[in-house]
Amino acid sequence: MGETMSLNVNRKTMILGIETSCDETAAAVVENGTKILANAVASQIDIHRRFGGVVPEVASRHHVDQITIVCEEAMRESGISWGDLDAIAVTQGPGLIGALLVGVNAAKALAFAHGIPLVPVHHITGHIYANRFVHELQFPLIALVVSGGHTELVFMKAHGSYQVIGTTRDDAAGEAFDKVARTLGLPYPGGPEIDRLAKQGKASIDFPRAWLEEGSLDFSFSGLKSAVINYIHNERQRGREISKADVAASFQVSVAEVLVKKTMLAAGRYDIRQLLVAGGVSANSRVRKEMTAAAETRGIPLVIPPLRLCTDNAAMIAASGTIGFLKGMRADLALNGSPNLAIEDF
């Protein structure tokens, strides 16, 4: 690693991506890291809804049930054969260990069966590279990765180079969405439900925004989450009817404001040519709107992937894996899932 990348334009790079870090079983075929030939996702949302959240053991079992199916679908839809693949890219972590193991072992079996190189991928870099399907990345850049598992600001000076400059000290933003939604009695997953409800309400309740120390690029959402839950409980205890729509709107405004201000603070500190937003919460309409407006004011080119690429998928893993492959990153058959894999060790 570290040597300059040889971007051989005469040859296409064809990668099969596999992703099973949480509750989506996914496989995709991507050409040159930029073109999706197939993107198969078996979502488990309906399965976990009755539990109010992702249950790791249930998720792991469903991955085993779906893994060959999504791979077959991706290969069929792409129209390519195994011999056309340059590598198999798989999410090594972070994520649920039992879930990661299914994808990792599936990828290893495929790599062995066909004698194809294996490339490990950090899940977050996948979310970042989902943007490359929309717009070529321009370096240096900052990416805000915000989902049920992550809230991170990542600085990239080149392809495959990642520096975390801000992270959450407690809950991920998406986690706060899910918990607030649950307290409001909304179905899982909570993010889209809050977004929908917020459109009918007014941001009339003043919930806290955690800025942490002066100039910090870190996040904290547990205080906000508790404040919202306390508000709901207090109102109910006093026998007062709460407006769920107003709570949703007020909560969402608070999250969006923190995400946007911190991201802009980071953007001001680094001389960047592009700002990326990625991860499940980037599907949130308020976050998209506020981020777009703020970036426009400051004249920073902003890229947000389309909604279907915001949630977990394997195309993004193949896209990041393409960069890893070209940089010479390889895993052997001893590759294991790493639930706490750090982006900087990657």
Site residues (vs Zn ion, CB under 5 A): 147, 312
Residue 147, contacted partner among Zn ion, another protein, none, CB below 5-8 A by kind? Zn ion
| CA-to-CA dists, residue 230 to 162, 237, 247, 271, angstroms | 38, 10, 12, 41
Q: How far is the CB of 279 from Zn ion (least distance, A)?
A: 6
Residues in the chain: 346
Stretch that binds another protein, among 109-117, 207-215, 252-260, 302-310 (CB under 8 A): 109-117
Please list the helix, strand and coil fractions of the chain in percent, rounded to the nearest 5, in that order: 45, 20, 35
Question: For the packed helices 222-237 and 173-183, what is the interaxial angle rounded to 10 degrees?
Answer: 10
**Quick check: 60 binds another protein (CB under 8 A)?**
yes
Residue 139, contacted partner among another protein, Zn ion, none, CB below 5-8 A by kind? none
Checking DSSP bridges between strand 141-146 and strand 274-278, what pairing results, if any?
parallel
Q: How far is the CB of 23 from another protein (least distance, A)?
A: 13
Tell whether 148 is in a known binding site.
Answer: yes
Contact 320, 122 (CB under 8 A): yes
Stretch that binds another protein, among 58-66, 179-187, 214-222, 285-293 (CB under 8 A): 58-66
264 vs 281 by CB, closer to Zn ion: 281
Q: How far is the CB of 61 from another protein (least distance, A)?
A: 6
Cα–Cα dist 230/177, whole Å = 15
Q: How far is the CB of 123 from Zn ion (least distance, A)?
A: 6
Furthest-apart CA atoms within the chain: distance in Å: 70
85 vs 194 by CB, closer to another protein: 85
Nearest Cα to Cα of residue 30 among 133, 153, 150, 151: 133
Tell whether 83 is in a known binding site.
Answer: no
Tell whether 145 is in a known binding site.
Answer: yes
Residues 86-105 that bind another protein (CB under 8 A): 98, 101-102, 104-105
Nearest Cα to Cα of residue 130 among 285, 323, 1: 323
Cα–Cα dist 37/29, whole Å = 5
Residue 333, contacted partner among Zn ion, another protein, none, CB below 5-8 A by kind? another protein
Stretch that binds another protein, among 175-183, 268-276, 295-303, 328-336 (CB under 8 A): 328-336
Q: How far is the CB of 71 from another protein (least distance, A)?
A: 8
Q: Is the omega angle on the peptide bond into residue 140 within 30 degrees of 0, that is, cis?
A: yes
Q: What tokens appear for 87 in the block?
A: 């590598």
Q: How far is the CB of 115 from another protein (least distance, A)?
A: 8
**Quick check: 334 binds another protein (CB under 8 A)?**
yes
Q: What tokens appear for 160 in the block?
A: 């495959």
**Quick check: 82 binds another protein (CB under 8 A)?**
yes
**Quick check: 45 binds another protein (CB under 8 A)?**
no
Cα–Cα dist 15/93, whole Å = 18
Question: For the packed helices 222-237 and 244-269, what is the interaxial angle rounded to 10 degrees?
Answer: 160
Tell whether 147 is in a known binding site.
Answer: yes
Cα–Cα dist 305/226, whole Å = 30
Q: Of 7, 65, 202, 204, which lies in the binding site for another protein, with binding defined by CB under 8 A?
A: 65
Q: Is the omega angle on the peptide bond into residue 306 within 30 degrees of 0, that is, cis?
A: no
**Quick check: 55 binds another protein (CB under 8 A)?**
yes
Other Cβ atoms within 10 Å of 244 Cβ, number: 20
Q: Which residues are annotated as a binding site?
A: 123, 127, 145-149, 178, 191, 195, 284, 312
Q: Which residues are annotated as a binding site for Fe cation?
A: 123, 127, 312
The residues of the shown chain that bind another protein, judged by CB under 8 A, are: 50-51, 55, 57-58, 60-61, 63-65, 67-69, 71-72, 82, 98, 101-102, 104-106, 108-110, 112-114, 332-337
Q: Which residues are annotated as a binding site for substrate?
A: 145-149, 178, 191, 195, 284
